[in-house]
């Protein structure tokens, strides 16, 4: 019977590239606080989208709207072609959220068996346990698990309905490096089966490794959107690290330098083009050592995007 259930596919399954979730000109207020401001955002079938932003930027609010856990004050929310609160659409979505409580006296397998009854065509318990790496923990009570193990149980509960659209809010918090990478592999496997994932995370390496597309939200607005490479390209292009006798002031005077900061015994210099700056460094300091040149990472781009937006917001007040 379980096998027959697993073979059933939704007649409404989305084709790759089709919009499966969207916010259209959405505003959301908490009293006088504007959490989202005219947000337009789309998730397409078959992709992993990472929604990034500092604390309080509006990430969790956006996810809750898409899950139908709250209504917008203005604008339209669509999921799987319809209302996110409809029973049919909720049967096709799964969510792993930071909030909420799970009974601590139930065993891991009991939790999975219970959640599976909420769906018409759940994934088999064996597959869920395997995907979350919980085979050896299935007889343990939830309250006896470590923080990382509890995160894996919450992931298992999110996928036990074999959802077409999966919301993961900070899924790898508390996981060690090995467990985090195993979870990444499982997320990739889900997408290879035609699933769609919306991910929020504070681990920028995670977004860089997993996401087909990244949206950066700050102060309730989407400030950048694109592939990881496109997001990185919106920041200064290169980072130079070296040990030099030149002062911070001298370094800032070099043409093309956009930022300089101390990094232990060395300095870190940001610039759009590294070669002219390196030539100036070598010409001005014959003792220069420890020279390293690298492209900026997602963290640099993220900080530049969110700091620039914050400064613009402050100057407009």
Percent with pLDDT over 90 in the chain? 72
Burial label for 67, CB within 10 Å (0-12, 13-18, 19+), is buried
Hunting for tokens 């979350």 — which residue is that?
132
Q: For the chain, where are the alpha helices, taking DSSP H only?
A: 2-7, 59-66, 87-90, 108-116, 125-131, 147-159, 177-192, 204-210, 228-232, 248-252, 274-284, 298-316
CA-based radius of gyration for the chain:
23
Report the pLDDT value the prediction gives residue 311, as an integer from 0 to 100.
Answer: 47
Residue 234 pLDDT > 90, yes or no?
no
Report the pLDDT value the prediction gives residue 203, as an integer from 0 to 100.
Answer: 87
Percent with pLDDT over 70 in the chain? 90
The Cα 251–Cα 240 span in angstroms is 11
**Contact in structure between 12 and 39 (CB atoms under 8 Å):** no
**β-pairing verdict for 213-218 and 221-226:** antiparallel
The Cα 300–Cα 62 span in angstroms is 24
**Contact in structure between 245 and 282 (CB atoms under 8 Å):** no
Structure confidence by residue, pLDDT tens digits, 126-158: 999 999 999 999 999 999 999 889 999 999 999
Q: Report which of residues 16 and 134 the model is more confident about.
A: 134
Q: Report which of residues 268 and 12 the model is more confident about.
A: 268
Hunting for tokens 């969207």 — which residue is that?
22
Helix axis angle, 147-159 to 177-192, nearest 10°: 10
Residue 27 pLDDT > 70, yes or no?
yes
Most confident among 20-24, 174-178, 257-261 (mean pLDDT): 20-24
Residue 8 pLDDT > 80, yes or no?
no
Report the pLDDT value the prediction gives residue 100, as an integer from 0 to 100.
Answer: 62
pLDDT class for 9, splitting at 50, 70, 90?
Answer: very low
Report the pLDDT value the prediction gives residue 262, as an integer from 0 to 100.
Answer: 93
Structure confidence by residue, pLDDT tens digits, 38-76: 999 999 999 999 999 998 899 999 999 999 999 999 999
Structure confidence by residue, pLDDT tens digits, 201-214: 988 889 999 999 99
State residue 82 phi and psi, 5-degree precision.
-155, -160
Report the pLDDT value the prediction gives residue 235, as an integer from 0 to 100.
Answer: 64
46 sits in which H/E element: none
Tokens standing for 149? 């193990």
Mark residue 22 as left, alpha or beta (left: phi above 0; alpha: psi -120 to 50; beta: remaining).
beta
| Residue 21, strand partner residues | 43, 79
**Contact in structure between 239 and 295 (CB atoms under 8 Å):** yes
Report the pLDDT value the prediction gives residue 20, as an integer from 0 to 100.
Answer: 96
CA quadruple 268, 271, 275, 281: dihedral sign: negative
**Contact in structure between 128 and 160 (CB atoms under 8 Å):** yes
Structure confidence by residue, pLDDT tens digits, 162-172: 999 999 999 99
Report the pLDDT value the prediction gives residue 128, as an integer from 0 to 100.
Answer: 95
Look at residue 256 and give its three-state secondary structure.
coil
Report the pLDDT value the prediction gives residue 58, as an integer from 0 to 100.
Answer: 93
How much is the average pLDDT of 272-277? Answer: 90
């Amino acid at each position: 019977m379980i096998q027959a259930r697993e073979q059933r596919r939704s007649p409404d399954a989305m084709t790759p590239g089709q919009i499966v979730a969207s916010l259209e000109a959405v505003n959301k207020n908490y009293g006088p606080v504007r959490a989202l401001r005219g947000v337009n955002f789309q998730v397409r079938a078959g992709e992993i989208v990472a929604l990034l932003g500092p604390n309080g930027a509006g990430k969790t609010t956006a996810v809750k709207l898409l899950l139908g856990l709250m209504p917008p004050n203005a604008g339209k929310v669509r999921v799987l072609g319809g209302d996110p609160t409809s029973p049919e659409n909720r049967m096709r979505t799964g969510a792993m959220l930071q909030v909420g409580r799970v009974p601590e006296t139930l065993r891991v397998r009991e939790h999975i068996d219970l959640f599976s009854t909420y769906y018409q065509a759940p994934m088999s318990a064996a597959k869920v346990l395997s995907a979350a790496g919980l085979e050896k923990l299935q007889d343990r009570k939830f309250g006896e698990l470590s923080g990382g193990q509890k995160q894996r149980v919450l992931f298992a509960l999110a996928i036990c309905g074999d959802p077409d659209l999966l919301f993961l809010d900070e899924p790898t918090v508390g996981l060690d490096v090995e467990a985090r990478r195993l979870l990444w592999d499982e997320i990739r496997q889900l997408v290879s089966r035609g699933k769609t994932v919306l991910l929020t995370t504070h681990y920028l390496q995670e977004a860089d490794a997993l996401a087909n597309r990244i949206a950066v939200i700050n102060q309730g607005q989407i400030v950048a959107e694109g592939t990881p490479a496109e997001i990185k390209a919106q920041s200064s292009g290169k980072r130079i690290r070296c040990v030099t006798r030149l002062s911070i002031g001298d370094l800032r005077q070099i043409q093309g330098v956009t930022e300089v900061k101390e990094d232990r015994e060395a300095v870190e210099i940001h610039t759009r083009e590294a070669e002219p700056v390196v030539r100036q460094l070598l010409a001005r300091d014959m003792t220069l050592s420890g020279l390293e040149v690298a492209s900026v990472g997602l963290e640099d781009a993220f900080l530049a995007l969110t700091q620039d937006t914050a400064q613009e917001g402050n100057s407009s007040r």
